[in-house]
Amino acid sequence: MKLEIGIGQGTQPLTIPEGIQTTVLTPNPVSHKGEPEEAVRGALANPIGTPRLGEIVKPGEKIAIVTSDVSRPMPTWAVMPALLDELYAAGVKKEDLTLVFALGSHRKQTEEEQRRLAGERAFSEIRCVDSDPADVVHLGTTARGTPVDIFRPVATADRVICLGNIEFHYFAGYSGGVKAVMPGCATREAIQANHRRMVEAAACAGHLEGNPVREDLEEAGKMLGVDFILNVVLDEHKKIVYAVAGDIKKAHRAGCRYLDTLYAVKIEERADIVVVSQGGAPKDLNLYQTQKALDNAKHAVKDGGIIVLVGSCKEGLGESHFEEWIRAATCPHDLVERIGREFILGGHKAAAIAMVEERAKIFLVSQQSPDFAESVFMTPFSTVQEAFDAALAEKGSGARVIVMPYGGSTLPKLES
């Protein structure tokens, strides 16, 4: 079997010998009709749980449109033309619109990155800014103790519109919906207070109702008052195949149900070897983001198995606290013990990786030097083929193999 595995801006070949029991987990076959713009305009014309956007907004109101930053695959440039047309038709003026890139705890973006994300039309017509955790308004505290501190231009806007793409999230259940503003436009303290709930059993991929992280986020969103969402589902080529618009919860849930038909993939049993990739850029810029594919892969690997993790990681570890925790640990269990004593945003992903490492070996294929992988208690390889061959040599020709070319978006679920 010959495959191409995404890494960075390109791919690497992988040949699996004949006779090796192999399953390739790809999105479920679902028929798609129409082009991306048609899907977006159709969603705007048929919102779920709200009137059309043109009946919600009023001329003279200040409107914040919140979208993803460069670390996310959300094609903001593809949805903004239809959204702007809808707003302008309602009498909204260009000068009353602000497009906010929700950074969360991520780095600031360059002007060129902002322009590419927004698209030339939006970037030239309306104000575009990164969120700033140093300039926030305190709106209160959730029942679970999370401070709701939101970027001022969003918190003080008359109307808030959230954009985003829906995919599985390893402890919030799914991305999209309210996540654009919380944690997207919140402070590090707020994000930490919410994310410490990740250790609870109900905080897991594909789970919403009763998920303490998601419920806390949506309580914060209700305190802010999000008026409308426009969310999309992307295929493995990052093309829009579905869109939902309307109520922050009802529309989001409809998008999640569609995502399940596409990316929740049943498996008969776990594998000895799992080869997993985020699918390439921009999702594998650093290990902090590549971890998402690893966390999905843990559902497919046997205890004592091997995960071949493929990600460019060209920007390194990707987050300062994540790096500090990694550097301070002498073994994976140090990180597992530490997360039990203290919750620090960034450190939580180091602990999440460590919990997988305690169950399985991880062979890392990246564009970093070997000592990078070794520093995170993984075994370094320069190519997918070399890593797979080493794994097969260890597990033997009778090994069961699962390949996840789009691991950040594909959630394995045991049929039992």
139 vs 342, which has greater pLDDT? 139
**In sequence order, what are the beta bridge partners of 97?**
63
Task: Give me the helices (H) in 136-271, please.
Answer: 152-155, 188-195, 212-224, 250-263
Cis previous bond, 73, omega within 30: no
CA angle 95, 99, 126 (to 5 degrees): 35
Q: Which CATH number fits domain 2-26+265-414: 2.40.10.480, 3.90.226.30, 3.40.50.10860, 3.30.160.60?
A: 3.90.226.30
**Range with the poorest average pLDDT among 73-77, 208-212, 234-238, 352-356:** 234-238
Residue with tokens 């070996």: 361
Count of other CB atoms within 10 angstroms of residue 15: 12
Query: Is residue 348 a contact partner of residue 295, using CB atoms and an 8 Å limit?
Result: no
Predicted pLDDT of residue 330: 97
- Average pLDDT on 226-252 reads 94
Q: What is the pLDDT of residue 401?
A: 98
At 288-314, the pLDDT tens digits run 999 989 999 999 999 999 999 999 999
Determine the distance from the C-alpha atom of residue 100 to the mean position of all C-alpha atoms in its chain, rounded to a whole number. Answer: 18
The proportion of the chain whose per-residue pLDDT surpasses 70, expressed as a percent, equals: 99
From CA 73, how far away is CA 59, in angstroms rounded?
Answer: 32
**The token pair that represents 109 in the structure block:** 């973006």
Quick one: 382 exposed, middle or buried, by C-beta within 10 A (0-12, 13-18, 19+)? middle
Asked if residue 80 lies in contact with residue 118, where contact means CB atoms within 8 angstroms, the answer is yes
Q: Which of 266, 303, 263 is nearest to 414 (CA)?
A: 266
Residue 365 buriedness (CB in 10 A; 0-12 / 13-18 / 19+): buried
User: For the purposes of burial, counting CB atoms within 10 Å of the CB of 341, is it exposed (0-12), middle (13-18) or buried (19 or more)?
Assistant: exposed
Position 52 scores a pLDDT of 97
Residue 209, amino acid: E
| 268 has pLDDT over 80 | yes
Express each pLDDT in 396-406 by its tens digit.
999 999 999 99
Cis peptide before 13 (omega within 30 of 0): no
Does the structure show a pLDDT above 80 at 30? no
Coil, helix or strand at residue 59: coil
pLDDT at 34: 74
pLDDT surpasses 90 at 166 = yes
167-221 residue pLDDT tens? 989 889 999 999 999 999 999 899 888 988 887 889 888 899 999 999 999 999 9
- In the chain, what's the furthest Cα-to-Cα distance? 68
pLDDT of the residue at 416 = 66
Classify the C-alpha dihedral 377-379-381-385 as positive or negative. Answer: negative
**Contact call for residues 392 and 266 (beta carbons, < 8 A):** no
| pLDDT band at residue 275 under the 50/70/90 scheme | very high
Model confidence at 331: pLDDT above 90: yes
Q: What is the CATH number of domain 36-234?
A: 3.40.50.11440
Confidence of residue 162 (pLDDT cuts 50, 70, 90): very high
Q: Specify the 3-state DSSP secondary structure of 207.
A: coil
Q: What are the structural domain ranges in the chain? A: 2-26+265-414, 36-234
Q: How far apart are CA 175 and CA 274, in angstroms?
A: 24
Closest CA to 230 of 280, 159, 328: 159
Backbone angles phi and psi of 17, in degrees to 5: -60, 150
Given a cut of 80, whether residue 33 has pLDDT beyond it is: no
> What's residue 103's pLDDT?
92
Give mean pLDDT, residues 19-26. Answer: 95
Contacts with 381 (C-beta within 8 Å, 6 or more apart), sequence order: 308, 363, 364, 365, 373, 387, 390
In this prediction, residue 263 has a pLDDT band, given cuts at 50, 70 and 90, of confident
- 401 - beta bridge partners? 22, 273
**What region, left, alpha or beta, does residue 346 occupy, with left being phi > 0 and alpha being psi -120 to 50 degrees?**
left
